């Protein structure tokens, strides 16, 4: 048995702020799908850990990301003003980004295009006032952001194993880039993001928490998942091959899967904030949005092949409803964990053998925040 992180790492607001500054600002953070800005000339606004980011698709099809802050006086350019019953003249409009305060206008690439009544004779050079760039990259159709980018991160690239772990290798046969979101659910969970991530990455809890899931995957009841072959996927019961209540569906499996992937389930935790579960014909992507030490928004997207979604007979509810009950069971038990941790009577928990080193989040945090920080 190994000691878990100290419980204060899950409950303390000061530790959460250390994570925000030293982890989430520095790491590639899953934020959206490319389909959210599919068309050149479009943009979306994403709130990320107290900041607001504009993600744009340029005319050449490439992506850019910038802070939603005007370089003139620091006004938020895209926002909501319904509190005052007015509509300000700003935001994203016909391929431009306009500040509502003094009408400074930027291109989707972040360059300042117009600053009313200012000229070079005013000791003003527009090239000095481009928007603050945010790192942007993609993998599997997902958009990743880095709030404090390193040099070169402002220009998009495809992330690999050295950036986000083994998911690109282990899930390489799935057509993730081409899948589309058929439905999404946002859950507000009263638990620390690490409680949710750790819960996802083990199945010691499955036999007690997920009766429906264990009917489809009986091996979850055996030895707490100690001998599961996570790399090749988790086998279903005989006759089942996907995550639905029946274990089957009329949807076709993805092309290109190997013999295991056609009949097994694969899951990956992409630190720090994405959990990705793949069946033979659909996927469930979970994006964790840490709000505070004891609150996390979980955005769950259900991904299907475009031709399936386009079919008049398409109905993804067999998978969506199955996932929804499984998710709500997880969130309920995660909130119980957060409640117990917060009492302050126990300093830390323990990892059972089923929660081996690959499930230990201590190493991930220690390498980024410092082992002395998490062991204080």
Question: Given a cut of 90, is residue 348 above it in pLDDT?
Answer: no
Secondary structure element (H or E) that encloses residue 32, with its range: strand 29-33
pLDDT tens track for 251-291: 999 999 999 999 999 999 999 999 999 999 999 999 999 99
Q: For 301, what's the count of Cα atoms within 13 Å in the CB-facing half-sphere?
A: 21
- Dist. CA 93–CA 96, nearest whole Å: 5
Query: How confident is the model over 304-325, as a mean pLDDT?
Result: 97
Burial class of residue 35 in the structure, from the number of CB atoms within 10 Å of its CB (0-12 exposed, 13-18 middle, 19+ buried) = middle
Q: Quick one: tokens of 159? A: 């992330």
Q: pLDDT digit string (tens) for 193-224? A: 999 999 998 888 999 999 999 999 998 888 66
pLDDT at 357 over 70: no
CA 137 → CA 31, 32, 107, 147, 251, distances in Å? Answer: 10, 11, 20, 12, 31
* Mean pLDDT, the chain, integer: 93
pTM score of the predicted model? 0.95
**Residue 230's pLDDT band (cuts 50, 70, 90):** confident
Question: Is 227's pLDDT higher than 80?
Answer: no
Q: How confident is the model at residue 172 (pLDDT cuts 50, 70, 90)?
A: very high
The pLDDT value given to residue 216: 95
Q: Tens digit of pLDDT for each residue in 144-155?
A: 999 999 999 999
Judged against a pLDDT cut of 70, whether residue 124 lies above it is answered with: yes
Residue 304 has pLDDT above 70, yes or no: yes
Catalogue all structural domains in the chain, each as residue range(s) with its CATH number.
29-158 (2.102.10.10), 167-374 (3.90.380.10)
For residue 335, give both structure tokens. 């909130």
């Amino acid at each position: 048995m190994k000691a878990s992180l100290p419980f204060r790492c899950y409950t303390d607001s000061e530790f959460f702020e250390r994570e925000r500054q030293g982890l989430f600002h520095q790491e590639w953070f899953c934020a959206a799908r490319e389909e959210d800005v599919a068309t050149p000339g479009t943009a979306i606004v994403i709130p990320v850990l107290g900041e607001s980011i504009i993600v744009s698709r340029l005319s050449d099809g490439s992506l850019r990301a910038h802070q939603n802050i005007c370089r003139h006086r620091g006004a938020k350019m895209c926002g909501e003003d319904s509190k005052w019953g007015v509509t300000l003249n700003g935001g994203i409009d016909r391929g431009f980004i306009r500040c509502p305060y003094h009408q400074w206008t930027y291109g989707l690439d972040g360059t300042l295009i117009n600053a009313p009544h200012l000229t070079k004779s005013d000791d003003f050079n527009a090239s000095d006032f481009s928007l603050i760039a945010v790192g942007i990259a993609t993998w599997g159709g997902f958009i990743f952001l880095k709030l404090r980018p390193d040099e070169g991160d402002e220009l998009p690239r495809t992330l690999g194993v050295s950036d986000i772990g083994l998911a690109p290798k282990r899930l390489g046969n799935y057509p993730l880039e081409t899948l589309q979101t058929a439905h999404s659910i946002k859950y507000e969970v009263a638990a620390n993001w690490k409680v949710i991530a750790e819960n996802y990455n083990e199945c010691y809890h499955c036999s007690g928490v997920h009766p429906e899931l264990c009917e489809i995957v009986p091996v979850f009841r055996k030895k707490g998942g100690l001998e599961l072959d996570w790399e090749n996927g988790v086998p279903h019961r005989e006759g089942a091959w996907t995550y639905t209540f029946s274990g089957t569906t009329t949807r076709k499996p993805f092309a290109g899967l190997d013999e295991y992937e056609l009949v097994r389930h694969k899951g990956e935790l992409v630190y720090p904030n994405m959990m990705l579960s793949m069946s033979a014909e659909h996927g469930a992507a979970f994006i964790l949005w840490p709000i505070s030490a004891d609150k996390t928004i979980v955005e769950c997207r259900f991904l299907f092949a475009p031709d399936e979604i386009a079919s008049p007979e398409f109905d993804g509810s067999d998978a969506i409803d199955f996932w929804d009950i499984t998710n709500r069971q997880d969130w309920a038990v995660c909130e119980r964990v957060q409640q117990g941790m917060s009492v302050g009577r126990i300093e830390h928990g323990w990892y059972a053998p089923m929660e081996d080193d690959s499930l230990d989040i201590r190493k991930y945090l220690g390498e980024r925040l410092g082992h002395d920080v998490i062991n204080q």
